[in-house]
Structure 1
Protein backbone atom coordinates (compact mmCIF):
# COMPACT_ATOMS: atom_id res chain seq x y z
CA UNK A 1 0.00 0.00 0.00
CA UNK A 2 1.31 3.45 -0.91
CA UNK A 3 2.13 5.45 2.21
CA UNK A 4 0.14 8.65 2.01
CA UNK A 5 0.41 11.50 4.46
CA UNK A 6 -2.48 11.97 6.85
CA UNK A 7 -2.99 15.54 5.65
CA UNK A 8 -3.51 14.27 2.09
CA UNK A 9 -5.97 11.50 3.01
CA UNK A 10 -7.88 13.87 5.34
CA UNK A 11 -7.95 16.65 2.69
CA UNK A 12 -6.37 19.00 5.21
CA UNK A 13 -5.51 22.58 4.33
CA UNK A 14 -4.59 25.76 6.16
CA UNK A 15 -6.41 28.93 5.11
CA UNK A 16 -5.83 32.50 6.25
CA UNK A 17 -2.99 34.14 8.10
CA UNK A 18 -2.14 35.20 11.60
CA UNK A 19 0.12 34.31 14.48
CA UNK A 20 -2.39 31.95 16.08
CA UNK A 21 -3.96 28.84 14.62
CA UNK A 22 -7.52 27.55 14.77
CA UNK A 23 -8.50 23.94 14.08
CA UNK A 24 -12.07 23.24 12.92
CA UNK A 25 -13.34 19.72 13.65
CA UNK A 26 -16.91 18.89 12.61
CA UNK A 27 -19.24 16.18 13.85
CA UNK A 28 -21.16 13.18 12.57
CA UNK A 29 -22.37 13.28 8.98
CA UNK A 30 -20.50 16.42 8.02
CA UNK A 31 -17.66 17.53 5.83
CA UNK A 32 -15.42 20.59 5.97
CA UNK A 33 -17.94 22.70 3.99
CA UNK A 34 -20.06 22.82 7.15
CA UNK A 35 -17.75 25.68 8.27
CA UNK A 36 -18.12 27.80 5.12
CA UNK A 37 -20.24 30.52 6.76
CA UNK A 38 -17.79 31.22 9.60
CA UNK A 39 -14.53 30.56 7.76
CA UNK A 40 -14.17 33.99 6.05
CA UNK A 41 -14.42 35.72 9.43
CA UNK A 42 -11.89 33.45 11.15
CA UNK A 43 -9.33 33.59 8.34
CA UNK A 44 -9.04 37.37 8.78
CA UNK A 45 -7.16 36.78 12.05
CA UNK A 46 -6.04 33.16 12.18
CA UNK A 47 -4.37 30.37 10.28
CA UNK A 48 -7.31 27.97 10.09
CA UNK A 49 -6.95 24.22 9.61
CA UNK A 50 -9.88 22.45 7.96
CA UNK A 51 -9.99 18.73 7.21
CA UNK A 52 -12.29 15.77 6.65
CA UNK A 53 -12.63 12.83 9.02
CA UNK A 54 -12.23 9.31 7.60
CA UNK A 55 -15.99 8.68 7.95
CA UNK A 56 -16.98 11.55 5.68
CA UNK A 57 -18.45 10.95 2.25
CA UNK A 58 -16.16 13.76 1.05
CA UNK A 59 -13.06 11.59 1.54
CA UNK A 60 -11.89 9.98 -1.71
CA UNK A 61 -10.55 6.79 -0.17
CA UNK A 62 -13.64 5.19 1.34
CA UNK A 63 -11.55 2.32 2.79
CA UNK A 64 -9.95 4.65 5.36
CA UNK A 65 -12.73 4.08 7.87
CA UNK A 66 -12.08 0.85 9.78
CA UNK A 67 -15.14 0.13 11.97
CA UNK A 68 -13.05 -1.77 14.52
CA UNK A 69 -10.41 0.94 14.81
CA UNK A 70 -12.98 3.73 15.03
CA UNK A 71 -15.24 2.01 17.53
CA UNK A 72 -13.94 4.46 20.14
CA UNK A 73 -13.22 8.19 20.12
CA UNK A 74 -9.57 7.53 20.98
CA UNK A 75 -8.75 6.63 17.36
CA UNK A 76 -10.18 9.96 16.17
CA UNK A 77 -8.17 11.77 18.87
CA UNK A 78 -5.00 10.04 17.67
CA UNK A 79 -5.78 11.13 14.09
CA UNK A 80 -6.28 14.72 15.24
CA UNK A 81 -3.00 14.72 17.18
CA UNK A 82 -1.08 13.17 14.26
CA UNK A 83 -2.59 15.65 11.81
CA UNK A 84 -1.71 18.65 13.99
CA UNK A 85 1.84 17.34 14.40
CA UNK A 86 2.14 16.89 10.65
CA UNK A 87 0.89 20.44 10.07
CA UNK A 88 3.26 21.79 12.78
CA UNK A 89 0.45 23.26 14.87
CA UNK A 90 0.85 23.79 18.62
CA UNK A 91 -1.03 25.81 21.23
CA UNK A 92 -4.01 26.06 18.89
CA UNK A 93 -7.62 26.97 19.43
CA UNK A 94 -9.84 23.98 18.69
CA UNK A 95 -13.45 24.55 17.62
CA UNK A 96 -15.00 21.10 17.87
CA UNK A 97 -18.56 20.35 16.83
CA UNK A 98 -20.77 17.53 18.19
CA UNK A 99 -18.85 14.21 18.48
CA UNK A 100 -15.58 16.07 17.81
CA UNK A 101 -16.05 17.84 21.13
CA UNK A 102 -15.19 14.70 23.08
CA UNK A 103 -12.53 13.77 20.52
CA UNK A 104 -10.93 17.15 21.26
CA UNK A 105 -11.19 16.60 25.00
CA UNK A 106 -9.39 13.24 24.71
CA UNK A 107 -6.73 14.77 22.45
CA UNK A 108 -6.19 17.62 24.93
CA UNK A 109 -5.59 15.11 27.74
CA UNK A 110 -3.06 13.16 25.66
CA UNK A 111 -1.32 16.28 24.30
CA UNK A 112 -2.20 19.47 26.20
CA UNK A 113 0.65 21.28 24.42
CA UNK A 114 -1.37 21.25 21.19
CA UNK A 115 -4.32 23.18 22.57
CA UNK A 116 -4.55 26.69 23.97
CA UNK A 117 -8.33 26.56 24.31
CA UNK A 118 -11.23 24.27 23.46
CA UNK A 119 -14.51 25.61 22.11
CA UNK A 120 -17.01 22.75 22.22
CA UNK A 121 -20.05 23.29 20.03
CA UNK A 122 -23.15 21.23 20.97
CA UNK A 123 -20.91 18.50 22.40
CA UNK A 124 -21.94 15.67 24.71
CA UNK A 125 -20.10 13.02 26.75
CA UNK A 126 -23.10 10.68 26.78
CA UNK A 127 -26.35 10.59 24.79
CA UNK A 128 -28.22 7.99 26.85
CA UNK A 129 -30.16 9.07 29.92
CA UNK A 130 -29.20 7.63 33.28
CA UNK A 131 -30.06 8.38 36.89
CA UNK A 132 -29.09 11.97 37.64
CA UNK A 133 -28.17 12.70 34.02
CA UNK A 134 -30.29 13.73 31.04
CA UNK A 135 -28.43 12.74 27.89
CA UNK A 136 -31.43 13.24 25.63
CA UNK A 137 -32.22 9.64 24.62
CA UNK A 138 -33.70 6.51 26.14
CA UNK A 139 -32.08 3.23 25.08
CA UNK A 140 -35.23 2.23 23.19
CA UNK A 141 -35.10 5.46 21.15
CA UNK A 142 -31.50 4.78 20.12
CA UNK A 143 -32.33 1.19 19.20
CA UNK A 144 -35.21 2.43 17.03
CA UNK A 145 -33.01 5.05 15.38
CA UNK A 146 -30.34 2.48 14.51
CA UNK A 147 -32.98 0.05 13.24
CA UNK A 148 -34.39 2.74 10.94
CA UNK A 149 -30.89 3.42 9.60
CA UNK A 150 -30.30 -0.27 8.92
CA UNK A 151 -33.67 -0.94 7.32
CA UNK A 152 -33.74 2.07 4.98
CA UNK A 153 -30.77 4.43 5.14
CA UNK A 154 -31.95 6.54 2.20
CA UNK A 155 -35.26 7.28 3.90
CA UNK A 156 -33.60 7.88 7.28
CA UNK A 157 -31.22 10.58 5.98
CA UNK A 158 -33.80 13.32 5.19
CA UNK A 159 -35.75 12.45 8.32
CA UNK A 160 -32.73 12.85 10.60
CA UNK A 161 -31.49 15.96 8.75
CA UNK A 162 -34.85 17.64 9.32
CA UNK A 163 -34.66 16.89 13.04
CA UNK A 164 -31.00 17.71 13.64
CA UNK A 165 -30.91 21.00 11.72
CA UNK A 166 -33.30 23.90 12.32
CA UNK A 167 -36.29 22.83 10.21
CA UNK A 168 -37.11 26.46 9.39
CA UNK A 169 -33.78 26.78 7.55
CA UNK A 170 -34.52 24.58 4.53
CA UNK A 171 -31.25 25.49 2.80
CA UNK A 172 -29.18 24.23 5.76
CA UNK A 173 -31.35 21.12 6.13
CA UNK A 174 -30.72 20.35 2.46
CA UNK A 175 -26.98 20.94 2.83
CA UNK A 176 -26.66 18.55 5.76
CA UNK A 177 -28.91 16.01 4.03
CA UNK A 178 -26.50 15.91 1.09
CA UNK A 179 -23.45 15.56 3.35
CA UNK A 180 -25.07 12.82 5.41
CA UNK A 181 -26.34 11.01 2.34
CA UNK A 182 -22.82 10.78 0.93
CA UNK A 183 -21.71 8.60 3.82
CA UNK A 184 -21.53 4.87 3.14
CA UNK A 185 -24.49 3.35 5.04
CA UNK A 186 -22.28 0.80 6.83
CA UNK A 187 -19.95 3.59 7.98
CA UNK A 188 -22.85 5.79 9.11
CA UNK A 189 -24.42 2.93 11.09
CA UNK A 190 -21.14 1.83 12.69
CA UNK A 191 -20.28 5.37 13.77
CA UNK A 192 -23.81 6.05 15.03
CA UNK A 193 -23.46 3.00 17.29
CA UNK A 194 -20.17 4.35 18.65
CA UNK A 195 -21.61 7.80 19.30
CA UNK A 196 -25.01 6.98 20.76
CA UNK A 197 -23.69 4.27 23.09
CA UNK A 198 -20.59 6.19 24.17
CA UNK A 199 -19.94 7.19 27.76
CA UNK A 200 -17.12 9.71 28.04
CA UNK A 201 -18.18 11.22 31.35
CA UNK A 202 -14.97 10.03 33.07
CA UNK A 203 -12.97 11.95 30.46
CA UNK A 204 -14.34 15.33 31.57
CA UNK A 205 -12.54 15.56 34.89
CA UNK A 206 -9.19 14.98 33.16
CA UNK A 207 -9.60 18.03 30.89
CA UNK A 208 -7.44 20.91 32.14
CA UNK A 209 -7.26 23.04 28.99
CA UNK A 210 -9.51 26.15 29.26
CA UNK A 211 -12.83 25.53 27.59
CA UNK A 212 -15.96 27.30 26.37
CA UNK A 213 -19.03 25.14 25.83
CA UNK A 214 -21.44 26.57 23.26
CA UNK A 215 -24.94 25.11 23.19
CA UNK A 216 -28.10 26.06 21.32
CA UNK A 217 -31.22 26.71 23.38
CA UNK A 218 -33.20 24.02 21.53
CA UNK A 219 -31.25 21.03 20.24
CA UNK A 220 -33.01 17.69 19.66
CA UNK A 221 -29.65 15.88 20.00
CA UNK A 222 -28.15 17.54 23.10
CA UNK A 223 -30.20 19.07 25.96
CA UNK A 224 -29.00 22.37 27.46
CA UNK A 225 -28.47 20.61 30.79
CA UNK A 226 -25.56 18.65 29.27
CA UNK A 227 -23.53 21.84 28.81
CA UNK A 228 -23.89 22.75 32.48
CA UNK A 229 -23.14 19.17 33.53
CA UNK A 230 -19.90 19.23 31.51
CA UNK A 231 -18.92 22.58 33.00
CA UNK A 232 -19.19 21.22 36.55
CA UNK A 233 -17.08 18.15 35.74
CA UNK A 234 -14.22 19.78 33.85
CA UNK A 235 -11.10 20.80 35.74
CA UNK A 236 -9.88 23.66 33.55
CA UNK A 237 -11.51 27.10 33.50
CA UNK A 238 -14.81 26.37 31.74
CA UNK A 239 -17.64 28.69 30.71
CA UNK A 240 -21.01 28.02 29.04
CA UNK A 241 -22.56 30.13 26.28
CA UNK A 242 -26.17 29.48 25.25
CA UNK A 243 -27.13 30.55 21.73
CA UNK A 244 -30.78 31.46 21.28
CA UNK A 245 -31.02 29.21 18.26
CA UNK A 246 -32.58 25.96 17.09
CA UNK A 247 -30.87 22.75 16.14
CA UNK A 248 -27.54 20.98 16.23
CA UNK A 249 -25.76 23.00 13.52
CA UNK A 250 -25.54 26.66 14.60
CA UNK A 251 -22.48 27.20 12.37
CA UNK A 252 -24.94 26.73 9.47
CA UNK A 253 -28.19 28.10 10.85
CA UNK A 254 -27.00 30.89 13.20
CA UNK A 255 -23.46 31.73 12.05
CA UNK A 256 -23.49 35.36 13.19
CA UNK A 257 -24.69 34.44 16.68
CA UNK A 258 -21.91 31.88 16.89
CA UNK A 259 -19.30 34.34 15.59
CA UNK A 260 -20.43 36.95 18.12
CA UNK A 261 -19.81 34.44 20.91
CA UNK A 262 -16.44 33.44 19.44
CA UNK A 263 -15.31 37.05 19.19
CA UNK A 264 -16.37 37.77 22.74
CA UNK A 265 -14.71 34.64 24.09
CA UNK A 266 -11.51 35.34 22.15
CA UNK A 267 -11.42 39.02 23.06
CA UNK A 268 -12.46 40.59 19.76
CA UNK A 269 -15.34 42.91 18.96
CA UNK A 270 -17.12 41.44 15.93
CA UNK A 271 -18.64 44.83 15.08
CA UNK A 272 -15.23 46.21 14.16
CA UNK A 273 -15.13 43.85 11.18
CA UNK A 274 -18.84 43.95 10.44
CA UNK A 275 -19.75 47.62 10.01
Structure 2
Protein backbone atom coordinates (compact mmCIF):
# COMPACT_ATOMS: atom_id res chain seq x y z
CA UNK A 1 0.00 0.00 0.00
CA UNK A 2 1.23 3.46 -0.88
CA UNK A 3 1.16 6.18 1.78
CA UNK A 4 -0.98 8.39 -0.47
CA UNK A 5 -3.85 5.92 0.10
CA UNK A 6 -3.75 6.79 3.80
CA UNK A 7 -3.88 10.48 2.91
CA UNK A 8 -7.04 9.97 0.86
CA UNK A 9 -8.54 7.93 3.72
CA UNK A 10 -7.86 10.77 6.18
CA UNK A 11 -9.23 13.30 3.74
CA UNK A 12 -12.41 11.22 3.32
CA UNK A 13 -12.85 11.06 7.11
CA UNK A 14 -12.38 14.83 7.47
CA UNK A 15 -14.86 15.47 4.67
CA UNK A 16 -17.38 13.02 6.14
CA UNK A 17 -17.11 14.82 9.50
CA UNK A 18 -17.45 18.14 7.66
CA UNK A 19 -14.18 19.47 9.09
CA UNK A 20 -13.33 22.66 7.24
CA UNK A 21 -10.24 23.66 9.18
CA UNK A 22 -8.32 22.15 12.07
CA UNK A 23 -4.89 21.69 13.61
CA UNK A 24 -3.46 18.31 12.67
CA UNK A 25 -1.50 16.44 15.35
CA UNK A 26 0.23 13.27 14.21
CA UNK A 27 2.87 10.81 15.30
CA UNK A 28 5.32 8.89 13.13
CA UNK A 29 3.54 7.50 10.04
CA UNK A 30 0.45 9.61 10.62
CA UNK A 31 2.57 12.78 10.45
CA UNK A 32 3.55 12.02 6.86
CA UNK A 33 -0.09 11.26 6.09
CA UNK A 34 -0.99 14.69 7.46
CA UNK A 35 1.78 16.29 5.39
CA UNK A 36 0.37 14.65 2.24
CA UNK A 37 -3.18 15.81 3.06
CA UNK A 38 -1.87 19.34 3.63
CA UNK A 39 -0.42 19.29 0.12
CA UNK A 40 -3.61 17.92 -1.46
CA UNK A 41 -5.88 20.28 0.52
CA UNK A 42 -3.81 23.11 2.04
CA UNK A 43 -6.98 24.78 3.32
CA UNK A 44 -7.96 21.96 5.67
CA UNK A 45 -5.12 22.31 8.21
CA UNK A 46 -4.22 25.62 9.82
CA UNK A 47 -1.14 24.00 11.38
CA UNK A 48 0.67 20.65 11.46
CA UNK A 49 2.07 19.33 14.74
CA UNK A 50 4.49 16.57 13.79
CA UNK A 51 5.73 14.22 16.52
CA UNK A 52 8.75 12.03 15.71
CA UNK A 53 8.26 12.44 11.96
CA UNK A 54 10.44 11.07 9.19
CA UNK A 55 10.05 11.42 5.44
CA UNK A 56 12.56 8.55 5.03
CA UNK A 57 13.86 6.06 7.58
CA UNK A 58 16.61 4.69 5.36
CA UNK A 59 19.99 6.41 5.32
CA UNK A 60 21.07 7.91 2.02
CA UNK A 61 24.24 9.55 0.72
CA UNK A 62 23.52 12.99 2.23
CA UNK A 63 20.73 11.99 4.59
CA UNK A 64 20.72 10.24 7.97
CA UNK A 65 17.30 8.64 8.39
CA UNK A 66 18.31 6.19 11.08
CA UNK A 67 18.66 2.80 9.36
CA UNK A 68 20.82 0.99 6.85
CA UNK A 69 19.08 -1.40 4.44
CA UNK A 70 20.78 -4.37 6.12
CA UNK A 71 19.20 -3.39 9.46
CA UNK A 72 15.76 -3.12 7.89
CA UNK A 73 16.19 -6.50 6.20
CA UNK A 74 17.07 -8.02 9.60
CA UNK A 75 13.98 -6.41 11.13
CA UNK A 76 11.76 -7.79 8.34
CA UNK A 77 13.34 -11.24 8.74
CA UNK A 78 12.74 -11.18 12.51
CA UNK A 79 9.10 -10.21 11.97
CA UNK A 80 8.68 -13.04 9.47
CA UNK A 81 10.46 -15.77 11.41
CA UNK A 82 8.88 -15.26 14.87
CA UNK A 83 6.41 -12.41 15.06
CA UNK A 84 5.52 -12.91 18.71
CA UNK A 85 9.17 -12.86 19.78
CA UNK A 86 9.77 -9.80 17.60
CA UNK A 87 6.87 -7.97 19.29
CA UNK A 88 8.23 -8.85 22.72
CA UNK A 89 11.65 -7.45 21.82
CA UNK A 90 10.55 -4.49 19.73
CA UNK A 91 7.97 -3.00 22.12
CA UNK A 92 10.43 -2.34 25.01
CA UNK A 93 12.92 -0.78 22.58
CA UNK A 94 10.39 1.62 21.09
CA UNK A 95 8.64 2.56 24.35
CA UNK A 96 11.82 2.71 26.41
CA UNK A 97 10.79 0.56 29.34
CA UNK A 98 10.97 -3.08 30.36
CA UNK A 99 8.37 -5.70 29.48
CA UNK A 100 6.69 -5.31 32.89
CA UNK A 101 5.66 -1.75 32.03
CA UNK A 102 1.96 -1.33 31.29
CA UNK A 103 2.78 0.89 28.29
CA UNK A 104 5.09 -1.79 26.82
CA UNK A 105 2.53 -4.53 27.40
CA UNK A 106 -0.22 -2.49 25.76
CA UNK A 107 1.96 -1.57 22.79
CA UNK A 108 3.11 -5.18 22.40
CA UNK A 109 -0.50 -6.36 22.47
CA UNK A 110 -1.42 -3.77 19.84
CA UNK A 111 1.32 -5.14 17.58
CA UNK A 112 0.16 -8.71 18.18
CA UNK A 113 -3.43 -7.73 17.37
CA UNK A 114 -2.35 -6.29 14.03
CA UNK A 115 -0.98 -9.68 13.06
CA UNK A 116 2.22 -10.63 11.26
CA UNK A 117 1.08 -10.21 7.66
CA UNK A 118 -0.35 -6.72 8.11
CA UNK A 119 2.47 -5.60 10.40
CA UNK A 120 5.11 -6.75 7.91
CA UNK A 121 3.32 -5.06 5.02
CA UNK A 122 3.01 -1.83 7.02
CA UNK A 123 6.65 -1.99 8.12
CA UNK A 124 7.75 -2.29 4.49
CA UNK A 125 5.49 0.59 3.44
CA UNK A 126 6.65 2.87 6.23
CA UNK A 127 10.35 2.03 6.43
CA UNK A 128 11.00 1.82 2.67
CA UNK A 129 9.13 4.99 1.71
CA UNK A 130 10.85 8.20 0.66
CA UNK A 131 8.75 11.36 0.73
CA UNK A 132 11.54 13.91 0.96
CA UNK A 133 10.58 15.21 -2.49
CA UNK A 134 7.17 16.48 -1.30
CA UNK A 135 8.36 18.53 1.68
CA UNK A 136 8.80 21.71 -0.35
CA UNK A 137 5.09 21.61 -1.25
CA UNK A 138 3.90 22.08 2.33
CA UNK A 139 2.20 25.45 2.66
CA UNK A 140 1.00 25.45 6.28
CA UNK A 141 2.99 26.18 9.46
CA UNK A 142 4.59 23.15 11.09
CA UNK A 143 5.65 22.48 14.67
CA UNK A 144 8.11 19.58 14.72
CA UNK A 145 8.43 17.80 18.06
CA UNK A 146 11.31 15.35 18.31
CA UNK A 147 12.53 13.06 21.08
CA UNK A 148 16.15 13.69 21.94
CA UNK A 149 16.89 9.94 21.99
CA UNK A 150 14.73 8.29 19.34
CA UNK A 151 16.39 5.27 17.76
CA UNK A 152 13.85 5.27 14.89
CA UNK A 153 14.10 8.97 14.02
CA UNK A 154 17.36 10.75 14.83
CA UNK A 155 17.31 14.46 15.72
CA UNK A 156 19.02 15.18 12.38
CA UNK A 157 15.74 14.30 10.66
CA UNK A 158 13.93 17.12 12.48
CA UNK A 159 16.63 19.53 11.31
CA UNK A 160 16.30 18.19 7.76
CA UNK A 161 12.54 18.75 7.85
CA UNK A 162 12.97 22.27 9.18
CA UNK A 163 15.32 23.08 6.31
CA UNK A 164 13.25 21.42 3.55
CA UNK A 165 9.64 22.15 4.45
CA UNK A 166 8.03 24.61 2.07
CA UNK A 167 6.62 26.83 4.81
CA UNK A 168 7.36 28.12 8.29
CA UNK A 169 8.41 25.49 10.77
CA UNK A 170 9.83 25.34 14.25
CA UNK A 171 11.65 22.43 15.82
CA UNK A 172 11.42 21.51 19.46
CA UNK A 173 13.64 18.70 20.73
CA UNK A 174 12.05 17.20 23.81
CA UNK A 175 14.11 15.65 26.61
CA UNK A 176 12.40 12.32 25.98
CA UNK A 177 13.59 8.84 25.14
CA UNK A 178 12.45 6.66 22.27
CA UNK A 179 10.00 6.88 19.44
CA UNK A 180 6.87 6.97 21.58
CA UNK A 181 7.44 9.92 23.94
CA UNK A 182 3.72 10.05 24.73
CA UNK A 183 4.22 6.62 26.35
CA UNK A 184 7.80 6.90 27.63
CA UNK A 185 7.62 10.51 28.90
CA UNK A 186 3.98 11.60 29.01
Whether these two folds match at TM > 0.5 is: yes
How far apart are the structure 2 equivalents of 1:136 and 1:165?
Answer: 17
Structure 2 residue runs without a partner (length 5+) = none
User: Which residue in the other structure is 2:124 paired with?
Assistant: 193
Query: How much has 1:171 moved relative to structure 2?
Result: 2.2
1:1-275 alignment runs, 5 A limit: 71-167=1-97, 170-255=101-186
- With normalisation by structure 2, the TM-score equals 0.96
Structure 1 segments, 4+ long, off by >3 Å, are: none
How far apart are the structure 1 equivalents of 2:20 and 2:110?
Answer: 30
- The structure with the largest alpha-carbon Rg is 1
Secondary structure class of the residue paired with 2:109? helix
User: Which residue in the other structure is 1:64 paired with?
Assistant: none
Structure 1 residue runs without a partner (length 5+) = 1-70, 256-275
Query: How much has 1:123 moved relative to structure 2?
Result: 0.7
Structure with the greater relative contact order (CA < 8 A, sep ≥ 6): 1 or 2? Answer: 2
How far apart are the structure 1 equivalents of 2:150 and 2:156?
Answer: 11
- With normalisation by structure 1, the TM-score equals 0.66
Query: How much has 1:125 moved relative to structure 2?
Result: 0.3
| C-alpha contact 2:97 2:184 (8 A) present in aligned 1 | no
Query: How much has 1:195 moved relative to structure 2?
Result: 0.8
How far apart are the structure 2 equivalents of 1:213 and 1:247?
Answer: 16
Aligned residues: 185
